Amino acid sequence: MECLHSHGIIRRDLKPDNLILTEDHKAVKLADFGLAREESLTEMMTAETGTYRWMAPELYSTVTLRQGEKKHYNHKVDAYSFAIVLWELVHNKLPFEGMSNLQAAYAAAFKNTRPSADELPEDLALIVTSCWKEDPNDRPNFSQIIEMLLRYLTPFHRPSQLFQCESLLRMLYCNQNLQVQVL
């Protein structure tokens, strides 16, 4: 994601169905770039682009937009989606459980509802909730997200805690209930 953003590309549809886990379980690759586009500071982009449950709130409007109408947003929509995906991987369930995709999108956009981060370790909860900020300008970019994740995972690099790190990665990447494809 950092690479895409550094080249001015917004992903716009970051979700588990568009992530592929390599066979050695050491990397996650992005797939399906059909909705990705070049970011523009001046040009308006298609509103309501992506998959509702993982879409950032600013992709919706309090003014009804007809399908295909345009509005301005930036790469921070991907930070929001990333946090929803991370929450889903850790919890092994869909965010906004019991809601349709459209209801989940409405709750996020108009009621500022987010999945609960209460059961996450404090540092991981901070990463996730910072990506969910209502104002996209308050969300971290992917360079900052990477820094936060590395700080969070640093204790796991000690030899005595290597097993914990492997267990965490296994939990995050080998989740059978999510449709993550293996190359």
Q: What angle do CA 97, 13, 87 make, to 5 degrees?
A: 40
Helices marked H in 92-141 = 101-110, 122-131
Tokens linked to 33? 């770039």
DSSP state of 7: T
Cα(77)–Cα(45) distance, rounded to whole angstroms? 12
Q: Confirm whether 13 is a catalytic residue.
A: yes
Asked whether the CA dihedral 69, 73, 74, 80 is positive or negative, the reply is negative
Active-site option among 13, 32, 118, 135 = 13
| Secondary structure element (H or E) that encloses residue 87, with its range | helix 76-91
Q: How far is CA 96 from CA 30, 92, 106, in A?
A: 24, 12, 11
**Which residues are paired to 38 by β-bridges?**
9
The catalytic residue positions are 13
